[in-house]
Structures are given as structure tokens and as C-alpha cells.
Amino acid sequence: MKKITQNEGLSQGTVNDIFEDSNGLMWFATKDGLNRYDGNEIKVYRRNHNVPNSLPNNHILTINEDHKGRIWIGTLGNNLCFLDPVTDKFFSYKTLLKVNDPPTRIGEHIYSIAFDSTIGCFMPAVIQEFH
């Protein structure tokens, strides 16, 4: 195992989650973006207000992968999204809902994402704040 720090290109020193995808890529959730490590270099994904399909929030809490190879991201604030590995673009989970589906709200802070391989659904874990 190799130690990876900001000196090697990690966007931030606090890592909230580490995930290895089905292609062997390592993903790191930080407070300053999503980091992908291929064994040689780190690619950092950050929010870019000028790019419609960029990361919606830089504060990443959790990472997981579905059976189609999409990388799912839970953020602090802007809900749940996924990275399409073909287009290298981010999409809200709402893009997968049918047009006539009722409004869906899952919370703002996604701390964990789990997939059920038998029925192919995802189950985000959220912390709801009550006032």
C-alpha cells in the first residue's frame, strides 16, 4: 500500500471515504472534491459553476458504485449524484426518475450509499436535522 497525501496531488488532507471501484481505481472523498487515483496520478473533480455537469458540491462524504459502473457520490448539502464513466460528467439522482414520478426528497447530507444487487436499488443513509 502506498501513502497518498497532498504532496502526491490529493486535493485535501481530510479523507471522509475511500472506495475501490470494479476497475481497480481508488476514489477518495474529501472536503475539497472527489479524487480518483489510478496507481500513477490523481485526478481531482471539483465544482465548476461554469460547467453544468460538474460535481454539485466539493464536500464529498461517501462513494459507491452501482452494477452499471456509475460512481455514486454523497455530498454535504447538494444531495446525491453519480459520475457517468463514459461521459465523465456528473448527474443528479433525479435524472434516473421517470417524468411522472412524484417529487422525491432524500435529504441533503448523504453519509452512506448501499446497493441491493437482487433488486438493483440504492439506499442512501441520511442524517435528518430536526428543529
Average pLDDT, the chain: 82
Residue 64 pairs in a beta bridge with 72
* Distance (Å, whole) CA 64 – CA 117: 13
**pTM of this structure:** 0.82
| Cα→Cα distances 89→6, 53, 71, 82, 125, Å | 24, 5, 11, 8, 24
- Name the most confidently modeled range: 23-27, 51-55, 63-67, 111-115: 23-27
Domains, the chain: 12-126 (2.130.10.10)
Segment 104-129 shows an average pLDDT of: 62
- List pLDDT tens digits, range 28-76: 999 999 999 999 999 999 999 999 899 988 999 999 998 889 999 988 8
